[in-house]
Structure 1
C-alpha cells in the first residue's frame, strides 16, 4: 500500500492518474475511485464500495445492504485477484477501513494507492510508503505556467519579466500556476501589470477556493493555530511557538503536527516555522472574512487597523480581540494610544508591540518612533499567553502574577524598568534585554523558567542579595561602572537565582549534574593556571590517560584567550575524536567588538554520550578556519572523579576570577534548570 500526500492542488490526483494509466493493464482488475471524500459525503461509502466491486469484477449493480457487508465482499472477492486500486482524496479512517482495511485483504502483488492531505491518517493505517508531493522548481513552474498563459514552453516576447513575477507569486504550486496562466491568457501587458498588482491585496478566488479545502478540514484549535502562526509566528522557533499555543489551550504538540502532516506549515531543520505564501495569503483572507462576517476583529495585526480600533475607542470591537500585533515603525505621523483601552480586551491571548529587528539591532531609541502611549495599563487579560512589548513604558499591574496562561514575557529595550515583580508559575520564557536600569527580578528557584535572557543588563547580579525564594536585588544601587566584587560573587548570585547549589564542586559530582554547560566571557589576557593542556594556537591535543573510563568522566573545562578583528555575534569550538568524528560542537551567542582588547571565554561542558566513543586522544579546536579571530592561548582540562576527590571544596576553574570589567562580559547556563544568560 502506497500513499501520496500533499496540500490541495499540488497534483496528488494527477500523479495517481498518471501511474494508474501507465500500469493498469498489468493487473487482472483495476479501479480508480475518484474523490472518495466528496462521493462519500454526497452518496455514502456504500456507493464507493459498489463502484469498486463492480468495476474490478465487471459486474452490474451488486446489492450491498450495509458497509460491513461491502467490506466482506471486497475482502473475499479480491483475495485471489491481482488488482490495482486507487482511492483518491481519502480523509477519514472509516473510508480506509471500509474500502481497504489492510493489505491482507488483497492478493499478494496487488497495488493499493491512496491520495490525501493527511499524512497521519495514512500512517495510522499502516501504509507501507508515503510520498510527499513537492512544489515545482522555478524552471518547471515557468514551463507549466507558459503552457497555459502562452501555449508555449516559454513566455512570449515582452512578457518574460511579468511571467517571472507571476511564477514567483505562486511559488511552485501546480494548480495555482494553471489557474493563473489561464486567467492571464490573451491579456495585454498593461492588464498583466494590473492583475499581478491586484493579487498583492486580493488573492485569486479560484486558487483560494482550492486551498481553503485544507483549512476547512481542520478542527477549531487547528484552524486557530494556523491563523495565529500566519499572523506573527512565521520564522519563529517551533518549540517556542508551541509553548504559546499551549497557553491558549490549542494543544500544540498534536495540532501543529496535524498542520505539518497536511502541508499547511513546514518545520525546517533549524526548527523554524515556515508557510507557503499562498497559504499565508489564504490565512490573511480568512481573518479578513471573519471580521466582515461578525463585525468584530479577533486578530488585529495590521498597524493601521490597530490604531483605528484603539484611537476611536471602539469598545465592542476591542472586546472581541484575541491577537494584537503592532509595529512601532509603521506610522509616518504621531499617533496617540491610550493604554486604558487594553482593559476592554478580556479575550486577549497574544500581545506583541515591537520594533523591527533591523532597527532594534541598530540601537535606535524607542522614543524616536511616532507611537505615543498614555494612561496606564491597569488590567491584563487572564487569557494572555504571550506578552511582548519593546520599551514597555508603564508599571506592571498587580495581577501579573495571577496570569495562569502566561508562557512568554518579552520586555526588551525597557530603559526605565527597574524591578520585575512576582511572575506567574506558568511562565517559561523571560526576555529582558537592553534593560539598563533593571536591578531586581523575582525568584525562579521555586518555579524555574526554561529560558532566561538578560542581555545588556549591567545592574543585575551586582552587589546583590539572594533571599530564600531565589529573588535577587541590589544591596546598593550602582550604575554600570566597575564594582569591587569579583566574578565568583556574580557567578554565585547568577546560580543562586536559578536555585542551583553554589558549592562549585558539588554540582560537578553527580553523573546527572544540573549542568550541561556553564560559560563566562570577560575581558582579560592571561590563562588560568588550572588548565593543564595548553597551546598558543587555536587547537589543543589532549592525550587520554591509559586508564580512561567514560563512567568516571564528568566533563571538561576550556579557556580561550582571544581577540576579534571584526565584530562577531557568536563564537564556537569543536571537539573531535582521534578519528576525526565530532564529540562536541559548542556555540556561545554574545556580542564581540573589535576593540583590540583580549577576551577570555571560560567554559564548562558535561560529558555527552558521544564521549563514550573517545579513544587515544581528542582535539579541541576554537573558531577553525576563521582568520578574523586571533588566539593568544588555548587551555583545556578534563574533569574526572579523581579531580573531585583531590579538590573537595571548589574547582579552581571558577575560583579567583577577576573583578568585573566596565567593558562588559557575559554568563550563560544550560542544563536541567533550562537556559539562562546574562550580559552587561
Structure 2
C-alpha cells in the first residue's frame, strides 16, 4: 500500500527524541506535545520517564538519541542555561553528520532564530556563566547553536501559529506522523534511468486538471514497470487528498480474492481499519460512495485481468475531479480494453544506462574495471537493456576472474538473443544441486509463502535452506518482502519452464502445479517416481481419488492439496457444506481407503482428506508438516512403527471423527499441535507432555475432552487454548513450569478451581477464563488475587499481581468476581481489554491508572451500581443489562477520555436521576472526531428528544434541506432511533447491530452506510426487555456535497427480533455547532419550550 519503511527501520527504538529545557516548558507546552505524539501513535523518548537525573548522560541519554529517528531541538529562553541540553545538542549534530538517516528539526519556543544563532539576551547571560565553569566546552556549544539554526529547518511558535500552541503542536506532530506513515515508497537502490523515465510521462501536468485521468504503464517482465510506478507515485502523491499504491494485484487477487483487494484499497484511501465488505458488488458501491468527491491517486500494479480493474477502479466517474489512476501490466491490449486514455510503454535502457546499471552490480561501481570493459559491453549488448537481466547477470559475475567471465559469456552465446529467459537461466545453471532444488520449489510452490514455513519444509528435505536462500537472494533470483518469499514473474516463469522442459509428459516431471497436468496424472494414473512435488486447489477442480491413485508417486516430497477459496465450496445459500465428519471439497473418494502414499513426504497438506485412516504402510520418517484439517480421519498413526524426528507441525483441526492422538514421543521436535474442534476426542496422549519444543497447543472446542493434556515439560509453550472444552474440569498440572506462556485461553470449560500457579506466568499477555451464563457456578475457586483483599496479609503470603505485568487482555466473565477481587489491578499497566461481564460486584476500583485500557466489558453485571473512574484511552464500554447501574463517572473524567461508544441497553436506573440531555452532555467526548468513526450511545428510552428537529414514527424519515443549505456550513448529522422487542419475554429479542442508510433526493446513496459494529462481547442471553434508544453523531464527509432538496434515512436492527418504532435526524450546521469540532456542540440544551416536546405525529 501507500506506505514505506526505511531499510534501516529496525534500528530505531524511538520515533522522536526531544531536547528541551524541562524547568522552562515541561509542564505546559511539552506535556501537550507528548500527549499529541501518543495519540497519533508516535513513540517519543522522554527522559523524565526513562532516566533518573543522576544517570550518566554519555551512556544512557546518548544511546536514546542514537536510537531515535527524529531529533527535535526545542529552543526556549532558558535552553542555553542547561549544560545537559547543550551536550544533547552537540550529540544530535554529531549523529546527523555521521548518518543522514537522522532527521533533525529545530523549534523556537518564544525565542527568535537570531537570539539562538547570535547567543544574545538570555543566551548571552547563560554563556557568561558557562565561561566560568565550562570554558573548554563553550566554543563547541556556541558553534552547535549557530549550526543548528543555519542548517536545519525549524518551527517557530509565533510566525507559524501566531502563538497558538495547540495549532503549533498539531503542525509538528502531523509532519512527523506523515513522515513516519505516509512517506514515499521505497524504490530500491541503483536507480539508473528511473526518474528520467518517470519524467517522460510528465504526469505532473495533469495534477491541476479537473478531469479524471487513467494512465497505463506496460512492458515485458523485468523492465521496471513497478519501480517506475513507485517513482511516479512518489512524485505525485503530495498533490492529492488521499492515495494508495496497490502492489501485486494479480498475486493478491489469486491468494485472497477481489474483496480483499477492495478492502486494502478502501482502508488505505480512508485511513481506516477492519472495514467489512460483504461482496464484490458491495465493495464497488463503497468505493463509488466514498471516493466520488475525493481527489485521489491510485496505482494498481500488475493487473492481468479485467475483473481486477472492474472491482477496484471501474470507471472515472467513481472518483473526484483531478484524480489520477495508474495501471501497470504486461499486456498492452488489456490496458486498452480497460479504457486507459494513454499507455506508456517502458523502453529498454540505453546502452550507457545499461552499462552503468550492470557495473553497479558486477563491480559495485558505476564504471567497469578497465580489464573488464570489453566483456562488460558484450554483456550489455547481449541483454539489450533489460534491467532485471542486467542485475541478475551483474550479481552472477561479481568477483569472478576475466577467464571466468569469458567462459560464462561463451556459454551465453549458445542461447538465442531473443530468449530473455535463457539469460536469466545462466544464474540458475551456476547453482549447486541443493540451490537449484530450492529455487524450483519456490518457483512452483512457495512464492508468496512465509519464509520460516518454507525453511522448515525444505530443511526437512536436507536442502540447508538458510545458507542456500542467501545465495539465491544475492543472485537476485529471490527476495524477501514482509517475511514472505518473493520472486519476479520473469524469473518464476524461467524456473517453471525448466521443469516443463524435463519431459513432454507431465507424469515424468519433477514438479506439478498446473491444474490440467495434475488432473492428468491423478485421474489417469500417469505418475512416476520422477514427481517430487504436487499442488492442487481442491476448491476449484474436481478430482477422483482411488485407492491406487498415488501408488506410482513413491518419491513425492511435497503434497499440497489446498483450499484456495472457501467461497468455491459454498452452496447457493452461501453455506459451506460440512458433514459430521469433515468438509466436502472437490476431491471425491471412489474407494473406502487409500492404499499407498509416499513415505518420502515432507509436506502433507490435504484439508478435507476423505478417508478415515492413513495407509497402513505410510510412515514418512522425514515428514515436517502434516495438515489434515476438516478431514474424515479417525486416527493418524498407531503402533510402534517409525519415528517422526523432523515433524514440526500437525493440524487436525475440525476432524470431527478423530478419536485418538498418536504417541508424541516419536515427534520430539513438534512445535505446533492443532486439534481445534475435534469433537470426538476424549483424551490427548499423555506423551504430549514430553514435547519440549512445542510452542502452540490448540484444543479449542474439543467438547468431549475429559482430561487435561499433560504439560509437564512444555517449557517452550507460548499458546495454550482449551476454550470450549466443556467437560474439562481442571487445568493441566505444573502450570507454573510453562514460563514461556504468552496466551492462556480457558474460557467456557467446567473448571471450578483456578490455581495460584497462574500468577507465576510472568510472560502472559492474554488470560481468558470467562464462562457462559448457563455454565456459571458459585463454587468456582479463584487464584488469590481474584478472591480476597491482600493488604491485611503478610507481604510474602501471596504472589503479587504485579507478576502479571505483561497482561494485555483479561476475560473473567461470569466468574463470580466481587468488589474485593480486583484490588491491585492497577498493577496491570499494559492492560488493553478487560471483560468483567456477568459478575456480581456492586462497584469497581478506579481504572484511571490503566492508561492503555481501551475496551471494558461489563455486560450483565446486574449488581453493579456505579461505573469506575475511566482511563484516558478508553474507547468502548459495553454495560448492557446492568440493571442496578445508577452512577456514572464524573463529567471531568469522561471529558478526558477518547470514548467512541457507551452501551447502556436495559440500564433503566441510569435514567431515573438524570435526563437524556444531561447524560449526552456528560458522556459524549469533547475532542475532534475521526470522520470515519461513529460516536454512539445506547440508553433506555421510548421517546426521541425534542432537539431532534426531524422525527417520525417508523423506520424511515425524509428530511428537507434548509433553503440556505451549503455543504461548507454542514458539520455533521445526529441521528436517533427507538427500538423495541417484538415480544416482551426479554430473552429472545437480542440485537446484533444498528444500521442506517442515507439516500439523496434521487434515491442514490449518500454518506456513511451502517457503520455501527456488532457487539464486542457477544452474549446470546442479553435480551431487549423494553424500548431502547440509540443515538450517534457522524461528522460530514465530501459525499454530502451531492445532497440536494431533501434526503431520506432508513434504519434497521440487524440480527435481532426487534423493531424500529421511531427515528429522528438533526442536520448540524455551522451556526448551530460553533465550528462543529466538539461532539456535544450538536446538542443544544433544551429550552423550557423545548422541554414540552411535541408528539411524533405532529413533527415533520
**Which TM-score tier does this pair reach, normalised by the shorter chain?**
0.5 to 0.7
In structure 1, C-alpha distance between the alignment counterparts of 2:699 and 2:610, rounded to whole Å: 13
* Match among 1013, 1032, 1052 for residue 603 of structure 1: 1032
Structure 1: state its 5+ residue gaps: 7-52, 58-63, 102-113, 164-171, 188-193, 215-225, 234-274, 282-286, 473-477, 502-506, 660-680
Give the whole-Å Cα distance in 2 for the aligned partners of 1:148 and 1:554. 67
- Which of 564, 581, 589 is matched with 1:155 structurally? 589
Deviations 1:408-458 (A, max 9, x none): 22222221252133443233332222222334455445x322433333334
1:433 aligns with 2:859: yes
How far residue 79 of structure 1 moved from its aligned partner, in angstroms, is 9.9
Kindly report which structure 2 residues correspond to 1:348-387, keeping only aligned pairs within 5 A, or say none.
348-355=764-771, 360=772, 363-364=773-774, 366-367=776-777, 371-373=780-782, 375-377=784-786, 379-380=800-801, 381-387=804-810
Q: Distance in 1 between matches of 2:741 and 2:1075?
A: 62
Bigger relative contact order, structure 1 or 2 (CA pairs below 8 A, ≥6 apart): 1
Give how far 1:576 is off. 2.2
Q: For 2:946 and 2:777, how far apart are their aligned partners in 1? A: 48
- The within-5 A match list for 1:584-663 is 584-586=1008-1010, 587=1012, 598-623=1027-1052, 632-644=1061-1073, 655=1086
The CA distance in 2 between the partners of 1:197 and 1:568, in whole Å, is: 39
- Whole-Å Cα distance in 1 between the matches of residues 672 and 886 of structure 2? 37
In the superposition, the TM-score normalised over structure 2's length comes to 0.35
Residue deviations 1:357-379, cap 9 Å, x none?
xxx3xx426226x6433644552
CA 1:383–1:466: 2 relative to 1, 3 Å? same
The equivalent of 1:301 in structure 2 is 721
**For the structure 1 residues 458 and 444, does the alpha-carbon distance in structure 2 shift closer, same or farther, using more than 3 Å as the test?**
same
Summarize deviations over 1:625-679 as a string: whole Å, max 9, x none.
Answer: 99976555443231111333699996556648999xxxxxxxxxxxxxxxxxxxx
Instruction: Please give the residue correspondences for 1:525-544 in structure 2 after superposition, counting only pairs within 5 Å.
Output: 526-544=943-961
Give the 5 Å matches for 1:100-249. 100=476, 120-122=484-486, 136-137=537-538, 140=541, 143-144=544-545, 148=549, 155-156=589-590, 159=592, 183-184=614-615, 196-199=633-636, 212=649
For 2:551 and 2:541, the matched residues in 1 are separated by: 15
Q: What's the RMSD between the two structures over aligned residues? A: 6.2
Q: Is the 8 A contact 2:728 2:750 kept in 1?
A: no
Q: 1:379 to 1:392 in 2, by over 3 A?
A: farther
- Give 1:554's aligned residue: 971
* Structure-2 residue corresponding to 1:88: 440
Give me the whole-angstrom Cα distance separating, in 2, the residues matched to 1:459 and 1:183. Answer: 58
Distance 1:594 1:415, change over 3 A: closer
Q: Does 1:388 align with 2:811?
A: yes
Partner of 2:781, secondary structure, is strand
Give yes or no for contact 1:461–1:494 (8 Å, CA) kept in 2: no
Alignment partner of 2:737: what SS? helix
- Alignment deviations for residues 243-272 of structure 1 (CA, whole Å, 9 cap, x no partner): xxxxxxxxxxxxxxxxxxxxxxxxxxxxxx
CA distance in 2, matches of 1:347, 1:69: 51
3-state SS in 2 of match to 1:584 = coil
Find the partner of 2:937 among 519, 524, 528: 519
Q: Is 1:572 aligned with 2:1001?
A: no
Question: In the superposition, relative to structure 1, how do residues 127 and 348 fare at CA in structure 2: closer, same or farther (>3 Å)?
Answer: same
CA-CA distance at 1:315 after TM superposition: 7.4
Deviation digits for residues 371-421 of structure 1, max 9, x if unmatched? 433644552322322222122536356553233433222222221252133
3-state SS, counterpart of residue 486 of structure 2:
helix
1:175 shift after superposition: 5.7
What per-residue deviation string (whole Å, max 9, x for no partner) do you get for residues 502-551 of structure 1? xxxxx7xx797898433344331x44443444554532233445654322
Corresponding residue for residue 256 of structure 1: none
1:342 to 758, 761, 772: 758
Q: Give 1:494 deviation, angstroms.
A: 2.8
Residue 583 of structure 1 corresponds to 1007
Structure 2 unmatched ranges of 5 or more: 1-220, 223-247, 253-378, 384-394, 429-438, 443-450, 452-465, 497-512, 516-534, 553-586, 595-602, 619-630, 652-669, 678-695, 703-707, 787-798, 898-906, 984-988, 1092-1100
Distance of 1:392 and 1:624 partners within structure 2? 32
Maintained 8 Å contact 2:886/2:909:
no
2:753 aligned with 1:323: no
**Distance in 2 (alpha carbons) for counterparts of 1:440 and 1:538:** 33
Larger Rg: 2
* Alpha-carbon contact 1:408-1:429 (below 8 Å) kept: yes
Cα gap change, 1:145/1:451 in structure 2, threshold over 3 Å: closer, same or farther?
A: farther
Question: How far apart in 2 are the matches of 1:530 and 1:601?
Answer: 15
Measure the CA separation in 2 of the matches of 1:186 and 1:341. 44
Tell me the TM-score normalised to structure 1 length.
0.54
What is the distance in 1 between the residues matched to 2:1075 and 2:760?
64
Where 1:88 maps in the other structure, the secondary structure is helix
In 1: Cα distance, 2:481 partner to 2:551 partner: 31
Q: Which residue in 1 is equivalent to 2:873?
A: 448
Q: Distance in 1 between matches of 2:828 and 2:1084?
A: 41
- Distance in 2 between the 1:610 and 1:309 partners? 56
Residue 375 of structure 2: aligned partner = none
Asked if 2 retains the 8 angstrom alpha-carbon contact of 1:404 and 1:426, the reply is yes
Q: What residue in structure 1 maps to residue 915 of structure 2? A: 486
1:602-642 deviation line (CA, Å, top 9, x unaligned): 33322134324434543211229999765554432311113
The SS at the match of 1:196 is: coil
Residue by residue, what CA displacement relative to the aligned partner does 1:269-306 show, whole Å, maximum 9, x if unpaired?
A: xxxxxx9x99999xxxxx999x6766675544347999
Answer yes or no: is the 8 Å Cα contact 1:443–1:470 preserved in 2: no
CA shift in 2, pair 1:609/1:208, >3 Å: farther
Residues 385 and 544 of structure 1: is their aligned pair in 2 closer, same or farther, counting only changes over 3 Å? same
Count of residue correspondences: 483
- Residues in 1 aligned to 2:645 and 2:962: alpha-carbon distance in whole angstroms: 66
1:674 aligned partner: none
Task: Judge conservation of contact 1:538–1:634 (CA < 8 Å) in 2.
Answer: yes
Change (3 A) 1:611 1:461: farther
In structure 2, the CA distance between the partners of 1:543 and 1:305, relative to structure 1 (3 Å rule), is closer
Distance 2:893 2:1028 in 1: 35
> 1:228: how far off?
10
Q: What SS is found at the alignment partner of 2:750?
A: coil
Equivalent-residue separation in structure 2 for 1:295 and 1:575 (angstroms): 56
User: Per the alignment, in what secondary structure is the counterpart of residue 618 of structure 1?
Assistant: strand
> Comparing both structures, which one devotes a greater share of its residues to strand?
1
Q: Distance in 2 between matches of 1:463 and 1:572?
A: 27
CA shift for structure 1 position 82: 0.6
